[in-house]
């Protein structure tokens, strides 16, 4: 049976996810926002859907007709609902603009191809007519990855891949599965569960993000310590480009030149459109066990996580919240907005797999954590985190409505540089925002380093977009100066272009532009995203 044109329950157009799951701010949180940060309600209420200012569609009728001839008329939409719901992503600046009724970046049309061949033909037509194409999965980008440069183009279409939503095949011998990119993560997990399998990829965007988006942004899930990053899972792919089709990945590893998979992993739709993925899969775990540990300081907890990552058999999920995040309650999402939690720093350790394997890894981790000064808190903190692991974006919506600016940023570095990077980013945010609430956790660990994920809350000024832009710029400069990468898993988009250019250097930028020019000579694929401009 063919999927509907759009999901039965699309994401809230001006916020995150399902409106019915909006998180109400408890009274203690409202008092904390007022007394600690000086937050005041916004001067004007958020715009309603009917108040959104939508620019006239600019796409010529001849182009719309040509696209409809490829996909069918019902799969080319230019109505207000489709255009608004495909406007930008879900960063705080994106949401502030939508709450103000500003849909000036809306595409002129939404095109929903049903096959690889249709994608190839749509790209050919758009290149011929110089129409910009924004590949669109779940719409969860938080780095400006869905806002193309419009100048110089006849129009912009959002290429929604939601109809490419099949599990094409499973290879139980090689432990791989071929899936299409429009599958949302929960859909993919349900299909794989029918074969006793899982991807094990559970980022915070899990409920709405798609497999194609995971690959295009080099996503990393909350269980990355056990299952790996999404780019680790990709063993093959089919890519449509304006120049034609690429089939990549004949074997798990190869010495036949550079691995072309890496050209498209993290390419954010600027080089081509992924139309199928061959992914490594795992047996669905028989046992899942989550628990909490407490460390006196973030430094002590960091040292313990490093040992777990370097001495083998780490937990499947491993995350450490700093003192502020633990105190505020953000370390356990089901307690969001319940200040006054335990002092110290919370570690959540999750173990998934066969009973014997889980028992072995729990025993190994417990011995190491106790030796490093950890105090076992039992299963309750870990289970609470697992129950609410996808809830934090809903809290952001409530905070925005209350008059607070809340946003996240993330980075990664080698273990030796991590303390300096942590201090530098916090100092930069305080310097830019005055006295914000800055929380941080480590949520992805490797033998050589780890990521840092910051959450920032501050009172909105008269121009909250400019306020956050200044803070983001200061944090980016601090990240580059302290030796971190500008993004561990959110991607580059438009928001990180300047810092990304500094990270890869002039020659690196030339290489990316060379690839772009060869695969996309007309420059129609997501213009303005990923590729540094000097």
> Taking phi first (over 0 means left), then psi (-120 to 50 degrees means alpha), and beta for anything else, what does residue 505 get?
left
Q: What is the pLDDT of residue 404?
A: 95
pTM of the model as a whole: 0.94
Question: Per residue in 421-439, is it b (16+ CB within 10 Å) or e — as a string?
Answer: bbebbbebbbebbeebbbb
Cβ burial, residue 171 (10 Å; 0-12/13-18/19+): exposed
Q: What is the pLDDT of residue 19?
A: 85
Say if CB 395 and CB 440 are below 8 A apart.
no
Active-site residue flag, 206: no
Residue 431: alpha-carbon gap to chain centroid? 27
Query: Secondary structure of the chain: what % helix, strand, coil (to 5)?
Result: 40, 20, 40
Residues 6+ apart with CB under 8 A from 262: none
Rounded to 5°, angle at Cα 315 from 313 and 317:
150
Say if CB 105 and CB 87 are below 8 A apart.
yes
Q: What is the pLDDT of residue 4?
A: 34
Domains annotated on the chain, with CATH: 49-160 (3.30.43.10), 167-283 (3.30.465.10), 287-387 (3.30.70.3450)
| Partners of 454 in the β-ladder | 409, 440
Say if CB 397 and CB 36 are below 8 A apart.
no
**Average pLDDT for consecutive 10-residue bins of the chain (534 residues)?**
44 90 82 91 92 95 97 97 97 97 98 98 98 97 95 97 98 98 97 98 96 97 96 98 96 94 97 98 97 97 97 93 90 55 86 96 96 97 94 91 95 98 98 96 97 97 95 96 97 96 96 97 97 84
Annotated active-site residue in 394, 453, 500, 534: 453
Best CA proximity match to 443, nearest among 476, 468, 408, 473: 408
Q: What is the pLDDT of residue 7?
A: 42
285: DSSP letter: P
């Amino acid at each position: 049976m063919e999927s509907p044109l759009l999901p039965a329950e699309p994401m809230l157009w001006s916020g995150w996810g399902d409106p019915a799951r909006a998180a109400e701010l408890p009274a203690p949180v409202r008092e904390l926002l007022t007394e600690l940060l000086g937050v005041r309600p916004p001067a004007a209420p958020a715009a309603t859907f009917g108040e959104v200012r939508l620019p006239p569609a600019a796409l010529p009728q001849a182009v719309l007709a040509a696209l409809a001839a490829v996909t069918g008329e019902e799969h080319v939409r230019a109505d207000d609902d489709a255009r608004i719901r495909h406007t930008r992503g879900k960063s705080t600046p994106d949401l502030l603009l939508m709450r103000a009724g500003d849909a000036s970046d809306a595409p002129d049309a939404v095109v929903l191809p049903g096959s690889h061949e249709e994608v190839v033909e749509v790209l050919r037509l758009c290149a011929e007519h110089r129409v910009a194409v924004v590949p669109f999965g779940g719409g969860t980008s938080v780095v400006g990855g869905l806002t193309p440069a419009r100048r110089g183009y006849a129009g912009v279409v959002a290429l929604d891949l939601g109809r490419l939503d099949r599990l094409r095949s499973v290879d139980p011998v090689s432990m791989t599965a071929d899936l299409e990119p429009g599958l949302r993560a929960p859909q993919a997990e349900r299909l794989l569960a029918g074969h006793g399998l899982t991807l094990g990829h559970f980022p915070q965007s899990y409920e709405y993000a798609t497999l194609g988006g995971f690959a295009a942004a080099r996503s990393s899930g909350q269980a990355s310590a056990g299952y790996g990053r999404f780019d680790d899972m990709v063993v093959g792919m089919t890519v449509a480009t304006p120049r034609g089709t690429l089939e990549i990945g004949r074997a798990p590893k190869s010495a036949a030149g550079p691995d072309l998979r890496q050209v498209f992993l993290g390419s954010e739709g600027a080089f081509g459109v992924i139309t199928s993925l061959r992914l490594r899969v795992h047996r669905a775990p028989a046992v899942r066990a989550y628990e909490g540990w407490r460390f006196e300081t973030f430094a002590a907890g960091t040292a313990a996580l490093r040992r777990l990552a370097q001495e083998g058999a780490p937990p499947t999920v491993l995350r450490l919240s700093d003192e502020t995040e633990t105190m505020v309650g953000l370390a356990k999402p089901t307690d969001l907005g319940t200040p006054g939690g335990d002092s110290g720093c919370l570690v959540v350790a999750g173990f998934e797999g066969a009973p014997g394997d889980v028992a072995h890894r729990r025993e190994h981790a417990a011995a190491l954590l106790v030796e490093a000064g950890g105090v076992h808190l039992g299963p309750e903190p870990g289970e609470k985190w697992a129950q609410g692991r996808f809830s934090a974006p809903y809290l952001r919506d409530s905070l925005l409505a209350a008059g607070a600016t809340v946003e996240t940023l993330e980075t990664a570095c080698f273990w030796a540089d991590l303390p300096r990077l942590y201090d530098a980013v916090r100092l930069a945010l305080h310097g830019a925002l005055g006295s914000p609430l800055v929380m941080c956790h480590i949520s992805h660990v490797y033998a050589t380093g780890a990521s840092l994920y910051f959450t920032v809350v501050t009172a909105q000024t008269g121009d909250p977009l400019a306020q956050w832009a200044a803070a983001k710029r200061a944090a980016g400069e601090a990240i580059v100066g302290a030796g971190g990468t500008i993004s561990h898993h959110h991607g580059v988009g438009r928001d990180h272009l300047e810092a990304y250019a500094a990270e890869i250097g002039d020659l690196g930028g030339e290489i990316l532009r060379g690839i772009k020019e060869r695969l996309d000579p007309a420059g129609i694929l997501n213009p303005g995203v990923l590729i540094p401009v000097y």
